[in-house]
Amino acid sequence: MARTMNMNNVMVLAIAIVAISVVLPTTEAALYTVGDELGWAIPPEAGYYAAWASKHSFFVNDILVFNFTEGEEDLAMVTKEDFDACNTSNPLFYFDEPPTLKFLASDTFYFTSTFDGHCPRGQKVAIYIAPSSATPPCPSPTAAVQAHATIPIKFVSMKVKQGKRS
């Protein structure tokens, strides 16, 4: 009898450990520098940033740093249409200094440079932010729509140390 109980306890413990190790990577916010060492610049080949993004899985609360020198580059968040067309005449958000962005909602976000000719040469990246497993499900469709209507990105400290995980 006691032996059976012990086995059951061992099983429960083993299951709990597996559950924790699966959940942990998505509950901790991660910090990424877009493009790694290249930072935010005209890439060596047009597919560079798409390849960089596809190497990572981004989740709600993750932080992206766009690293560039003010005046030499800029950053615009645009619609998918404008992203595809490299049209930066009417960005959703515009940053003339390197921003650190924290993503607060699941969505696909489209970024490019407004500098002449940079977007067509591949300085553009689409970032899919997956829902975090730590985010509680939306209580109602109305709440989901309201949450979506608020600005889903916000600034975090501009002085976040680059390369460090939060």
Ligand X SMILES: *[C@@H]1O[C@H](CO)[C@@H](O)[C@H](O)[C@H]1NC(C)=O
| Site stretch for ligand X (CB under 6 A), options 32-40, 111-119, 136-144, 147-155 | 32-40
| Site stretch for ligand X (CB under 6 A), options 33-41, 50-58, 139-147, 152-160 | 33-41
Residue 59 pairs in a beta bridge with: 130
- Strand, helix or coil for residue 36: helix
Is 117 among the residues that bind ligand X (CB under 6 A)?
Answer: no
Of 78 and 129, CB closest to ligand X: 78
| Site stretch for ligand X (CB under 6 A), options 53-61, 82-90, 106-114, 126-134 | 82-90
Q: Alpha helices of the chain — where are they, by DSSP H?
A: 2-27, 48-54, 80-85, 141-149
Q: Cα(73)–Cα(117) distance, rounded to whole angstroms?
A: 12
DSSP assignment letter at 131: P
Is 90 among the residues that bind ligand X (CB under 6 A)?
Answer: yes
- Structure-block tokens of residue 17: 């450990």
Contact footprint for ligand X (CB under 6 A): 33, 37, 39, 67, 82, 85, 87, 89-90, 162-163
